[in-house]
Amino acid sequence: MVVGLGSNLGDRALHLRTAARELGRVFDLRACSPLYETAPVGPAQPDYLNAAIRLHAALPVDELLETLLGIERSGGRVRTASSRWGPRTIDLDILWIDGVVLATPTLSVPHPRLTERAFALLPLLDVAPDAIDPRTGARFAEPLEDPGVRRTLVLLQPEPA
C-alpha cells in the first residue's frame, strides 16, 4: 500500500519526517519517495511539500485509516468540513493498495483523483513504479507520458547526511 503525505504549514519537512517516523513505528515501511514542492489545490495558501511511503500493514482498511487520522491529530491536524481544501500541518491519504478497489463514505481506494494530481502520482511512482490501477488494469505511469505533468513539480534536494 502507498500513503501520500503532505504539509504546507510550519516546518513542512519536519512534519513529513515526523509522520514518516510514526508510520514506520506502526507499519512495515518499505520505501520513501523524495520530497516534492507543489502549488496548492483550492484557496490561496502556502505551497506544499508532498511525498509518498510504501508500507505493509496487516490491518483492516478501516483500522488503517483510523491509525492515519490519529497520526494526523498528533501532528496538529484538525479536520473540519470548512478546512477540507485548506492549509494543514500534515495530511495522510491512502493513495493505493495493490489490487484493492474500495468506495465507502469515508474512504476511496485508489484515491479518486490520483491520476489528476501529479503531486500524489509522482511520489507514488517513486515507491511503486509498477503500480496498476485496479479499476482499469492500466499502469499508473501511463499518464506521465505527457511531459507537462513532470514540469508541475520541483524535486527538492535531499538533506545532507
Residues involved in catalysis? 77, 88, 91, 93
The DSSP bridge pattern shows strands 154-155 and 102-103 to be unpaired
Hey, what amino acid is at 156?
Answer: L
Q: Are 123 and 52 in contact (CB under 8 A)?
A: yes
**Closest to 94 in 3D by CA, of 129, 126, 57, 130:** 57
